[in-house]
Structure 1
Amino acid sequence: MIKVRCISTNEAQEYVSKCIPRHLLISRVRDCAHLVCNVWVLKSELLYPDETSVLKHARDLVLCLFSSDLPVRRLDLQMAFGLRTSDLDGILKTLNRVMVDEHERSWKLKHDDVEEFGKTKDDLKVFIEEKRYWHRRWEEIHRYLMARKEKAGNIIRRKKRINSRQNGSSDKTLKKRNNVKTIVID
């Protein structure tokens, strides 16, 4: 077993027997990793087996953004998931190929030194399947974030209702005082 979190297909081939065909190697790698920018990245559920929520979703969003060549910014992730800076740094440390893009003020997955995946027909099929996976995962994360937002909105509304009930009696008397009309009779 190779202890890495990100590896290219050619790098992985260097660690296994030369008699193992490429398609079999890719099949085995896909059991524990997903393809992002021509690099195999360890699946989030293997890194966060007990955590069914925030860290796994946040890491997968980072990978979705990398896969789509979109900027990954700390503030966006903090606002979306409510994570601390240390949590985000921990997520990025799980990807040993992350670099800072000073021009865009974002993080990028370093893959310039890696061969392009998908040159053969079999590789292209895997490449397309992995792209589809990241599109589906993007939709799942979006639904997760919308549910979190809705749940947070419900909690805020519930707190407002409780506060208004507690303050309700004084509010009603103020409203009654404001509704009293003064009639002057000569």
Structure 2
Amino acid sequence: MILPEEFNQNWDVSKNGPLLKFSYEGLKNTSFSDELKQFLSIGGLPETPPPYLEFTSSQSSFKPITSVFDMPEEYQKYWLLGSTGSGDPICIVENKESIVFLNNGDDYKEVFINSSLNQFAECILLFSEMIDKAIEINGEDAFIDNDIPESLINWLKEQLERVDSNCIKEGCFWDIEIESLYE
């Protein structure tokens, strides 16, 4: 599992954009593990990493989604991190510390992303690496044009499974992203 310091070293800020870090002081009174708090404060999250994720809105505050959006109390266990390219909220589940998105097109049904924040960060790095390799092979617009060699998609799938075997199960976020690369 990737450590926050390793994530910082491996994320190319000049090419992929800044990392947003949360104040450890601001996280102190949450019930999350020290490991998660350290990752958010030392490693942080990329502002707008692939595949079309956004964490810019989450830097100012890390709160339950119910304090940001008007949602039923049953959603209080979800802490907002950012959003997917479709505008679905990406959250940390309070007691499990797993990463999910809430599908706004399906009554905010929970969709699994990763088992931990560390694994989520590592999967983002792998996806970025896949894009870089596709660009090397098929040119600057390879990702935009969905011109990614099948061997590279298979490599990504194997790497994601190595990091978190649960993340590529059918219907999970990374499985959906991999399937879209085949289209």
TM-score by shorter chain over 0.5 = no
Larger % of helix: which? 1
Higher gyration radius (CA): 1
Q: TM-score range by the shorter chain?
A: under 0.3
TM-score by length of 1: 0.23
